[in-house]
Each structure stands twice: as C-alpha cells, then as structure tokens.
Amino acid sequence: MLRIWKATINSRNGLAFAFRSEQAVREEIFALLVSLPLAWLVGATAMRAVELVCSVAFVLTVELLNTAIEKLADRLTMDHDKQIGRVKDMGSAAVGVALLMAGAFWIIAIIERLGFI
C-alpha cells in the first residue's frame, strides 16, 4: 500500500509541475474538463461518451510524455543539438497524432449524433 501511495504522490507532483510549466498541458487539462459534459451531449451512448473523454485524456497523456522528454533533453544540454531536436520533433509529432485521433473520434460522434451515419 505504501508503494501505491508514494506512486500517487509522485504522479500528482508530476502533473502539478507540468501544469505550472507548460501552457499546452494547461490547455489540454482545460479541454479535458470541457469534454466531460460535452461528451454526454454528443455521445449517443454512455460508451461513446467514455470514448470521447478518453480520447482527450489520451492527448493529455501523450503531452505529458512529450513534456517529460523535452525537460530531460533540456537538462542534458541547452545548446542546439541536431539529434535532440529530432527527438523533440518526434514527441511533438506524437502529440499531433493523438490530437488527430481525438478529433476523428469527436467528428464521427458528432456526425453520428446528427443522424448522418
């Protein structure tokens, strides 16, 4: 139980640090909070609403991983390094893919709710 408690505290600390230091994390937490009621309006079923919220939570998850990569890379060197730049770009690409996935979930759910499919 102690290990789980310590892991929970570490997770809370990491989320709090990311919230304080990264605008993108703040925006995605806001999007997640907004998605909670909207998902129930847009989702035709409870499962669809959960899928919509999880798609936004997934974007936040990937952003947290990207932020961790960026912070670690900056800790290694603040000088321009071609390889570190590529790694940061890949993290950014992962966030972009997650955003496209979430967008696809929401677009399909809206089209479905409007009765077009």
73: number of Cβ within 10 Å: 17
Active site residue 51: no
The catalytic position among 60, 63, 91, 109 is 63
Residue 74 marked as a ligand binder = no
Nearest CA to 111 out of 50, 43, 51, 45 is that of 43
Q: Where are the alpha helices (DSSP H) in 2-81?
A: 2-21, 23-42, 46-76
Residue 56 marked as a ligand binder = no
Residue 27 marked as a ligand binder = yes
Residue 92 marked as a ligand binder = yes
Contact 64, 25 (CB under 8 A): yes
Residue 11 marked as a ligand binder = no
Residues with catalytic function: 63
Annotated binding-site positions for substrate: 3, 24-28, 63, 92
Annotated binding-site positions for a divalent metal cation: 22, 70
Annotated binding-site positions for ATP: 3, 22, 70, 88-89
